[in-house]
Each structure stands twice: as C-alpha cells, then as structure tokens.
Structure 1
Amino acid sequence: MSATTNHFIPINMDREQRCVIETASNEWLPSPSKGVWRKPLEREAAEHGQVTSIVRYEPGTFFPAHSHPLGEEIFVLSGVFEDENGSYPAGSYLRNPPGSSHTPGSSVGCELLVKLNMFDANDQQQVTLNTHETTWLPGLVDGLTVMPLHEFASDSFAEHTALVRWQRGTHFSTHRHMGGEEVLVLDGTFEDEYGQYPAGTWIRSPHDSKHRPFSEDGCLILVKVGHLSRLAALTTA
C-alpha cells in the first residue's frame, strides 16, 4: 500500500456537519484511469468505501471493469455516459445494485454525479430512467413539481430520491430532515435562510436539521433524503 493511501484523510465524512460546496470552483483531480477526472465531495478512503463525486470522462475514455460491493448511483449531468448495457444521455438516473459490475465510459464525453457503496444490502433494484421521458407530479405547494426516482424503506429508515422543480417565486414551509438531506442544484438558484446556491452547488444537511427553502428565480434540484443516519453506521472506523 502506498504512503499516499496510508495517510489519506477522509473528506467531509462527518455527516453531523452541514456541508456546502460550489463544485464549479473545485479543481478536477485525476483518477487511476487516464482521461477520467473527479471532484470529490465526500470520500471515506483513497479508492474504496463511501464516496460522492462529480466525475468527468473525456471523449473516448473508458474505465476498467469493476464491481459495486454496495451499489452505485449515477445522475448524468452532461454528455452521454455508456457501458456494455447501453447509452445514457444527460438527465439519466441509474442505480446499479450491490454486487453488480460494468465497464463504464463515454465516446463523446460526459459529466456525472456518482455515489458509491451506499446502498442497503437489501436494496437490489436496478434503475435506468431518462428523466426527460418521466412524468412530473404536483408538489406540496403551488409552483413545485416532483419526479420520484427511487425509494427504499425498512423498519428503521426510509430513503427517497427525486428531482424537484421550483417555479419562480416558490416558497416552502420550514421543515426538518429526518435522516438528513442531500441536494445538488442542477439549474437556476436554490435558496434558504442560510444562503443562495447556484447551479452546481452540493448541499448536505444532517439528520434533524431544518430550513425554509425557496427560489425567487426558479431552479431544478436533485434531492435525496433519509439516508445519512444509516450511512454513518456503515462508515469504517
């Protein structure tokens, strides 16, 4: 094992802390595969364990075949992502369950949000959605529409992932995040009483935190709720 690996410092793994990252200003870091670049948002270990990253594939780049011991979740931000099972344009949402494997890459280049090794072992659902072809549902307040992408529940927790579209001037009531909340702003500007978050901002709010979200200009966000308390228990010491 290299000295770099021995002295790796986990990145943003204290999920009791609120974390806000404007990913556009972060530096791209090389991966072990030439032409694949990453912006780590949270990372448990050097090349394994739980990780959330923005990943960029240069055109014509493919990553070696690999498995997903505890699953892989992907949202395609731009370009076209590929593997041996198909091609996935921007707006695609993918879940590869624990024990799955593939050889990912991109002929034309792409950027992705990638989350690794965060599934419950019983969450075995394979998901492939093109969100441009999926139905929007009414939200809880006027000006809000929701596209559910995935949910999984057990006796002790419930996780939900969705796209949420905010029309201009939409305000939501103050609410708590039981099990935590994770947001990636895809378009426009998301807001709450703590600040403004332009496209590309990643926000992680801990279990039992609360806020009053709104958007004066309108926005589109990818939201994941209910998962952070469970993930904290999976993190290796």
Structure 2
Amino acid sequence: MSALAVVRSADMDWQASPSPTVWRKRLYFDGPAEAGIVTSVVRYEAGSEFPTHHHPGGEEIFVLDGIFSDEHGDYPAGAYLLNPDGTSHAPFSKDGCTLFVKLRQYGGEGRTQVEMNSGALDWQPRNDTGVWQKPLYRQGGYREWTQLLKLDPGAQSPPHDHPNGEEVFVIDGAIEDEFGAYPAGTWIRYPPGSSHTVKSLKGAILYVRLGGIAEQ
C-alpha cells in the first residue's frame, strides 16, 4: 500500500463471477479466489440474481446505474449500502444495474448498517470554492470515512495530504492532479503520507474513502 495505484476500468474486460449473469472488473484484489479483499465494478444483467450470502468483513455498495435489489428493497442509481459483519441478503436486478463494490474492508463488531439514497441529499459546500460533499459513512471507533465529492467545472482543491491514505473512484466527469488525469471509471489509491492538488476542468463526481488503507 506504499505506492500510488491507478486502474482505469474502461480499459478492462468484464470477467465472469460465480453467477453466470453477473460480471465484474476487479480493481483491487488480495486473498483467496472468492474470499479475498476486493474492490470492483460489478454488472448485473437484466434478470440476474445471486444466492443468499453473508458479509464477512463487510460489504459496501454504491449503485452507479440501474436498480439493484434484494429482499429488503430496491436501490436506484446513487444508493449507498454498507452491510457489516452478521448481515446477509439475496441480491438481484430486474432490469440490470452497475455497482461499485468493496468486500471485506469494513470488519469489526458494532458497525452500523447503512442504507441511503444519496440523490435525496443536498450537496454541502466545503471550504474549497467549487467543491461540494455528501457524507456516506463515518462512525466513531473506526478510521474509514466515505463521502461523495462534486467538483464544479474549473474547481481546484488546495494542496492537501492523506496521512492515512485515500481511495477515489471517478463516478462521472474527470479529475487530474500532479500524477495524471483520471476519467470516469478510474480507481485511484493514494498511499498513507501522500499529498496532491486535485482539479477538474469540466466537473466531476467522486466516491472518496479516507483512512484504513494501511490495514487492507
């Protein structure tokens, strides 16, 4: 975790999953074949379903497009789910959907299960001009902090560092920093102790996760 990692999912082929109608692009993977730490983009074909499964180490989902469903409800684009240890579900998608998923990266007892529609939340201004945020998950006793960020066209963040690392997934638009340019679908992991300045010429929406990088 000591080096910058950049993966452009648009350049990757879809790979098979244990379900014949669910496909994935693994952005990061470490561990046994179907029981490791994984960050991925997942596509459900219309009519797809997955058998009931538990979430050891936790499961985080952000719905990128379509409608994702399970026995507990339907989750449209912009929905955010955090299913901690001890939870289970049987997911499916009637019309198809695409998800950003993190598995086994939210371990520990006492985590709160989260279900929200980020599209119903207002963007909150930050100190940086032209940068807005929506909180997704933060809980006392844990280092992870996830949020959505929106950069207006031409917005630039001031130089800042990440003592505990940062992960970014570009949901829409594009950003750039001293290390490169990152279009939609790009996953970036900045190692602990790194620093950068981010800007967006035409605007962008980002998933951002702070902290906990070194523990993966």
Q: TM-score range by the shorter chain?
A: over 0.9
Deviation per CA, 1:56-102, whole angstroms, max 9, x where unpaired?
11000101111001110000011100000000001101000111110
1:26 matched to 2:12? The reply is yes
Q: Which amino acid aligns with 1:200?
A: G
1:94 matched to 2:97? The reply is no
Distance 1:151 1:200 in 2: 24
Unmatched 5+ residue regions in structure 2? none
Q: More helix by proportion, 1 or 2? A: 1
Distance 1:123 1:34 in 2: 34
Kindly, what percent of the aligned residue pairs are identical?
Answer: 46
Secondary structure class of the residue paired with 1:158: coil
1:114 matched to 2:101? The reply is yes
Distance 2:109 2:152 in 1: 36
Runs of 4 or more consecutive aligned structure 1 residues displaced over 4 Å after TM superposition: none
Secondary structure class of the residue paired with 1:170: coil
Aligned residue in 2 for 1:77: 64
CA contact (8 A) 2:111 2:139 kept: no
Q: Once the 2 structures are TM-superposed, how far is the Cα of residue 172 of structure 1 from its aligned partner?
A: 1.2
Q: Once the 2 structures are TM-superposed, how far is the Cα of residue 121 of structure 1 from its aligned partner?
A: 0.6
1:143 matched to 2:143? The reply is no
TM-score between both structures, scaled by the size of structure 2:
0.96
Distance 2:180 2:4 in 1: 13
Aligned residue in 2 for 1:212: 197
TM-score between both structures, scaled by the size of structure 1:
0.88
Deviation per CA, 1:145-169, whole angstroms, max 9, x where unpaired?
1101111343xx6221000000111
1:43 matched to 2:36? The reply is no
Aligned residue in 2 for 1:166: 151
CA contact (8 A) 1:123 1:152 kept: no
Give the number of equivalent residue pairs.
215
CA contact (8 A) 1:186 1:199 kept: yes
CA contact (8 A) 1:70 1:99 kept: no
